[in-house]
Amino acid sequence: MSVARAITEKLAMHGGTPVRSTLLSYGRQSIQEEDIQAVVDVLRSDWLTTGPKVDEFEEAFAAIVGAKHAISFSSGTAALHGAVFAAGVTEDDEAITSPMTFCATANAVVHHGATAVFADVCPDTLNIDPPQVERRITRYTRAILPVDYAGHPADLDAIMDIAERYGLVVIEDACHALGARYRGRPVGSIVHMTVFSFHPVKHITTGEGGMVTTDDAEFARRLRLFRNHGISSDARERQTKGQWHYEMVALGLNYRLTDIGCALALGQLHKLSSNVARRQAIAARYTATLSNIPGVITPATRESVDPAWHLYPIRLSNNGTHLDRADVFRALRAENIGVNVHYIPVHLHPYYRDRFGYKRGGFPIAEGAYEQLISLPMFHSMTDQDVEDVISAMAKVIYGLNREVA
């Protein structure tokens, strides 16, 4: 349906015909025949859990993001948990992160008995604001966890500058940002440790999975220790004390990724740059068309950053329009456009309010943005028709609702 026609049509939530006959989800995996074959080959091999495909995937991943070490985990959440351990964050410590994220970022800190301290975000990118971070540093602060919201890298140079001045570790939550670049450098090679997720809605998937990249050999050692129960697997010790010998030297978990998952992801990894380019083309088309619709604010991209566009989050402006986010959301879903909202600011969840006393009003930029946000479908296997359907539905819904309230 063309935009010109769509804006004259009755909204599906009022009984009109939806723009699409089937639901377009906001994100999904893209698995090719060769990926399936690679998994089948593993199923016929001797290794199902941690075998040669894990090493192959870690090496290929490290090379793609330009890091010395890549340590795989069973999820992005586990990878965050491991990175906070590797940074040495423990009870009574504090770590500063963004409220505009999935709760796993802050939870990784709390799981180590430390306090998640939030700092408000920049109004344009919704990434953590470096001056706000600096204001929250105390003698207990050990780490900063910037989040590359929607795939747009945070202001990493400014954050590293703060970290160097105060002796802090930077753990970048790049679960949205595989394939992004910051000042020409690939995300994954810039800060002390960078964390990725391979959940199916992300850029590549292992089913569930995650990764930490680092240039630091000691962080890498601690990451490997944590994902394997805290068991040290020093080959020299086994030589001297017997092949059966192992020692548990820290409290870890089983956070290992499987050969099955790594085989699934290896082929996807080699297509990463074309997949990110497709997401960038979709984002460019969205921005060119949606920025002309009154009341719609398209996401900002700072100069010298190439976002990986995990999400495409628009905001609804109240300026001159009277759009209610819940109405727009409901109307788009009725048109079979699978919109979502990222994120309810973490400090507003009951757990964080009850445990740490966070209140509404603490982080006004993140809270204000949350009231206006809607994530539109964004995944690299979207067809051109899928993209046009989203644009038509947006025009239909926004013009339609604006007419109703006028």
Ligand X SMILES: Cc1ncc(COP(=O)(O)O)c(C=O)c1O
Q: Which residues are catalytic?
A: 202
The three-state (H, E, C) secondary structure of 37-51, written as one string: HHHHHHHCCCCCCCC
Smallest gap from Cβ 237 to ligand X, in A, equals 33
Q: Would you state the structure tokens that stand for residue 275, as one six-digit string? A: 């997949």
In the Cβ-directed half-sphere of 192, how many Cα atoms lie within 13 Å?
24
Q: Would you state the structure tokens that stand for residue 61, as one six-digit string? A: 């991943």
Nearer to ligand X, 67 or 204 (CB): 204
Smallest gap from Cβ 217 to ligand X, in A, equals 25
CA atoms 109, 114, 120, 122: torsion sign:
negative
Smallest gap from Cβ 190 to ligand X, in A, equals 17
Binders of ligand X in range 175-204 (CB under 6 A): 175-176, 197, 199
Binding mask 46-85 for ligand X (x = CB under 6 A): -----------------------------xxx--------
210 binds ligand X (CB under 6 A): yes
On the question of a cis peptide bond just before residue 343, with omega within 30 degrees of 0, the verdict is yes
Phi, psi of 176 (to 5 degrees): -100, -5
29 binds ligand X (CB under 6 A): no
Q: Would you state the structure tokens that stand for residue 386, as one six-digit string? A: 């899928």
109 binds ligand X (CB under 6 A): no
Binding window for ligand X (CB under 6 A); candidates: 100-108, 181-189, 283-291, 350-358: 100-108
- 385 vs 329: CA distance, rounded Å: 21
Nearer to ligand X, 176 or 396 (CB): 176
Nearer to ligand X, 11 or 145 (CB): 145
147 binds ligand X (CB under 6 A): yes
Nearer to ligand X, 27 or 295 (CB): 27
99 binds ligand X (CB under 6 A): no
- Number of helices (H) and strands (E) in the chain: give both, helices first: 15, 15
Give Rg (Cα) of the chain. 22
Residue among 327, 350, 292 nearest 402 (CA)? 327
Name the residues that contact ligand X, by CB under 6 A: 75-77, 101-102, 104-105, 147, 173, 175-176, 197, 199, 210
